[in-house]
Amino acid sequence: MSCIQEILEGIEKGCYFDSHYVTDLMIRDHSDEYLCMAKDINTKENLTLRLHQQIGNKIAKLEGALVKRQDGQSWSLNIHGNSGSCALWKRI
């Protein structure tokens, strides 16, 4: 099981979360898997952005099984402490 699935399964059903939350937990609790994902991305430019897009894509692949995408966006802090929008999800 990927750490992304493990993180999602740890969210209480019916609760809302965003992709920044999943990224933060990956960095904090699953840093080896986070770094391995980064290593597999073939780019030297915008690596962080591409990695975080990939994390979002992996969350999206679990739509219908563990999560449901919500209309609109979430506004939260990214890993740099900057406010920004990202996908809003509901754990189902």
Contacts of 30 (CB under 8 A, 6+ apart): 3, 6, 7
The DSSP output letter for 11 is S
pLDDT score for 43 = 84
pLDDT score for 17 = 98
Transcribe 67-89 into DSSP letters. Answer: EEEEEEEEEEE-TTS-EEEEEEE
Q: What is the pLDDT of residues 24-61, one digit of tens each?
A: 999 999 999 999 999 999 888 999 989 999 999 999 99
State how far the alpha carbon of 10 is from the alpha carbons of 14, 18, 30, 38, 63, in Å: 12, 14, 14, 23, 16
